[in-house]
Amino acid sequence: MPDLPFPQPMASGWAFAGAGAALEIDLDAIAANYRLLDARTGAATCAAVVKADAYGLGADRVAPVLEQAGARVFFVAHLEEGIRLRPHVSPGVRIFVLHGPMPGTEALFTRHALLPVLNSMEQLAGWRAHAAQAQKALPAAVQVDTGMSRFGLSEADVATLAQTPALLGGIDTKLVMSHLACADTPANPANAMQRDRLRAMAARLPAAPCALSASSGIFLGPDYHFDLVRPGAALYGLAPNAQAPNPLRPTVRLRARIVQRRVIAAGDGVGYGLTWHATGTRRIATLGIGYADGFLRSGARDGCAWLGDYRLPILGRISMDSTTVDVNDVPESVLDAATHVDMIGPRRSVDEVAHGAGTIGYEVLTALGSRFHRTYRQPVACDASPCQNKASV
C-alpha cells in the first residue's frame, strides 16, 4: 500500500505529537474490495457488514463509501448500531440487525427504518404482535440454524411454522438466511451440508430470497451465493482463507511513535517480569503503543515492527501504553532520522499480526483502540452504480 499523506510534521519530527500512534484507513481500498466482491457474486446482491463500528474502522466514514461503491443493503449486530448507522446512509438503504429485537424494542426498529433478523420463535411472536398493533405487515429477515448451533430457528421450529402458517402472520419475509461455520476451510464437508440444509428449510417457509455466505463463503463459488452475500472482514482486507493468496487490498496502516532509545548491556532485562535479557550490548527502542491501544499483549510472542526494510523484533512483554523493540541492526543514521515504525503496514499485514498473536485478523481490527490519531484516504471517483442485473433484496 503506498504511503498515505501526512500533515506537515511538528518540530518533534512526528506529525502527531499528541498521540503515540497513527492509524491510516484507506477508504479507497475498502471501496475497491467491495467492487471486487460484488463482481464475484454474479446476480446475487452484495451487501456490506459494518457491525462493530465497521470492524473498528468507523462506520460513519465507511458506510457512505460503501454505498457510493454500490452497496444498498447493510448488516449490523445490535439495534443501537443500526440507529447510529441510519443517518449516514440514504433512506432507501436497507439495514438488517442480526441479533433481532429484544422484547419491547420492536417499535424502535420501525421508528428508525431498521429490519430485524428474527432468530427465535419468541422474536417471531414479538414482531408478529408489533405488526398486529401497526395493522400492517412489517418486513423482517428470518434466520435458520443449518448446523452452527448459534442463531436461528431449529428444524423443529421450521416444521412448526410450516404446519401453522398463522405464526408468520403480519411478517413480510424479505430474506431467509443462515451462516456458514467452516467457510474458511473450503474442503470441509460441513459447508455443503449447511448449503443443502438451507435449501430444505427455506422451502418450508414463505418464498423469499436466501442468503448463506459471508466473506469466506463468497469464495466457495456460485453454489453458495444464493440471492445475497454479506461480506464483512473481506471488505477490510482480511484473507478469506489460508489456502489461497489474498486477492483483497489492505485497508489499514498502523505506525507507532519512537518515544525513547537506549543502549543496554549484557544481562539487562526488558519490560515487566524481565522476561527477555540481552546476551550482549544491544540498542533498543520504546514505542508509544500497547495493549490499551488494542495491540494485543499476546503479540509479543513472535511479533515485530518494521522500519523500512529492517525487522524490529518485540522484546519482552507488551505494556499498556508501550512496546519495546530491538533496533540493534538498524544503522544509527536511519534511527536518527526516524520518528515512527510500522506495526501494521506494507511488510506485515493484519493477518500476519494476528497469526503472531495467536488469534485472527477480525480480533486485531476490532480491538484497535481510540487513542490513535486517525486519518482517512478518500476513495478515487468511479462509476459506483450497482450492477443492473443484480437480484433485488
Distance of CA 80 to the CA centre of its chain: 18
Note if 272 is an active site residue: yes
Contacts of 368 (CB under 8 A, 6+ apart): 23, 56, 252, 254, 293, 294
Distance CA 18, CA 40 (A): 43
Residues forming beta bridges with residue 342, ordered by sequence position: 255, 306
Three cell numbers, residue 305:
515492527
For residues 12 and 14, give the distance between their C-alpha atoms in angstroms, rounded to a whole number: 5
Q: Which residue is catalytic, options 34, 51, 55, 376?
A: 51
The C-alpha atoms of residue 30 and residue 115 are separated, in whole angstroms, by 25
Q: Where are the alpha helices (DSSP H) in 10-99?
A: 27-40, 51-55, 59-69, 79-85
Q: Which one of the listed residues 34, 55, 224, 272 is annotated catalytic?
A: 272
Q: Which helix (H) or strand (E) holds 363?
A: helix 361-367
174 catalytic, yes or no? no
Residue 237 near residue 215 (C-beta atoms within 8 A): no
Give 295's Cβ-side CA count (13 Å radius): 32
* Grid cell digits, residue 28: 479507497
- The answer to whether the CB of 316 falls within 8 A of the CB of 300 is yes
User: Could you list the active site residues?
Assistant: 51, 272
